[in-house]
Amino acid sequence: MDHRIVGTTLPVLEITLQPGEMVIAEPGELSWITGNIQMKTTPMTAGAKSVFGLLKRAVAGGGLFMTEYTSQGGPGMVAFATKLPGQILPVEVQPGKGYLIHRSGFLCGTQGIEVGVGVQRSLGAGIFGGDGFLLQRISGRAQAWIELDGEVVTYDLAGGQSLLVHPGHIGMFEESVSFDISVVPGIANALFGNQGLFLARLTGPGKVWLQSLTLPGLAHALSPYIVKHEAQTAAVSGGLGGAVTSQVLKDIFGGS
């Protein structure tokens, strides 16, 4: 199995599969494939060996179903594009060397990948759309590809060394790194209300990948333009609707 990452700002992952080789991804991740790639959507894959395992993966944000892509009759290619500007990182997953990644970070993986819930915290209604903070855990024995948003900054933490991080900037870290959430009081923010600032404490040993683009930050930056556009659309629709209604009434009852 070979792969290459094409592009910079919005990269695409191309994986060349030999006959019988397989990669696993969520159904919505596919961008394009060659004609000899066979697709099979099934719930019982990516570590979901039972209903309980399936629910754990669904809670982690992985969805109830996954799609298996297998090459038939010769080499084939499957491609996955990023949803936001960022980077695609290949990682080797082995027993005892898994990773925790942000909730939408798992792009795809080879046979043997296991996807489940890693961390779940309730952080209040103002954060992550009120869904709280969630990390996926990938484990097993496989090759995986992870999508991180924006620029990526890495740190190798020594044993006992800690890093305090805004939760949205956490892209991925090795499972040897311990994780906790703390509240820094006295810092009010439009994203967080008046409850204080939530920070994740990552403590080594292990490697940490941080992402510069956060979805809450992106949503907050775009919200004034979205509200303005919706208001303008409503005004235009209302004006057109009023004009059409007025004309219909004139046609029915007469008058100028």
Residue 165 has pLDDT above 70, yes or no: yes
From first CA to last CA, the distance across the chain in angstroms is 74
Q: Which two tokens stand for residue 24?
A: 């696993």
For domain 2-213, give its CATH number from 3.60.160.10, 3.50.50.100, 3.40.50.2020, 3.30.2350.10: 3.60.160.10
User: How far from the centroid of its chain's Cα atoms is residue 22's Cα?
Assistant: 22
For the chain, percent of residues with pLDDT exceeding 90: 52
Decide: 155 and 207 in contact? Cβ < 8 Å.
yes
Strand 178-184's sheet: what is its strand order?
Answer: 162-165, 197-203, 178-184
- The pLDDT, as a whole number, for residue 105 is 92
Mean per-residue pLDDT, 5-34? 94
Q: How far apart are CA 233 and CA 227, in angstroms?
A: 10
pLDDT at site 44: 54
pLDDT class for 122, splitting at 50, 70, 90?
Answer: low
Taking only the tens place, the pLDDT of each residue in 64-96 is 688 999 999 999 999 999 999 999 999 999 999
pLDDT at 27: 82
Q: What percent of the chain has pLDDT over 70?
A: 70
62/138 Cα distance (integer angstroms): 11
Q: What is the pLDDT of residue 218?
A: 77
**pLDDT tops 90 at residue 176:** yes
Encoded tokens for 245? 């209604």
Whether 242 has a pLDDT exceeding 80, the answer reads no
Range scoring the smallest mean pLDDT among 47-51, 84-88, 151-155? 47-51
pLDDT at residue number 26: 87
User: Does residue 54 have a pLDDT over 70?
Assistant: no
The whole-number pLDDT of residue 249 equals 42
Mean of the per-residue pLDDT values of the chain: 80
Please report the pLDDT score of residue 130 as a whole number: 44
How many whole angstroms separate alpha carbon 29 and alpha carbon 108?
A: 8
* 92-112 tens-digit pLDDT: 999 999 999 998 899 999 999
Look at 156 and 198; give whichever has higher pLDDT. 156
pLDDT-derived band of residue 63, with 50, 70 and 90 as boundaries? low
The 10s digit of each residue's pLDDT in 220-232 is 777 777 766 555 5
Q: What is the pLDDT, as a whole number, of residue 199?
A: 87
Q: Tokens 């695609």 correspond to what residue?
A: 88
What is the pLDDT averaged over residues 26-43? 91
DSSP 27: G
pLDDT at 184 (0 to 100)? 73
Instruction: Tell me the pTM.
Output: 0.76
For 117, list phi and psi in degrees, rounded to 5.
-80, 135
Instruction: Please give the Cα distance from 123 to 136 (Å, whole number).
Output: 17
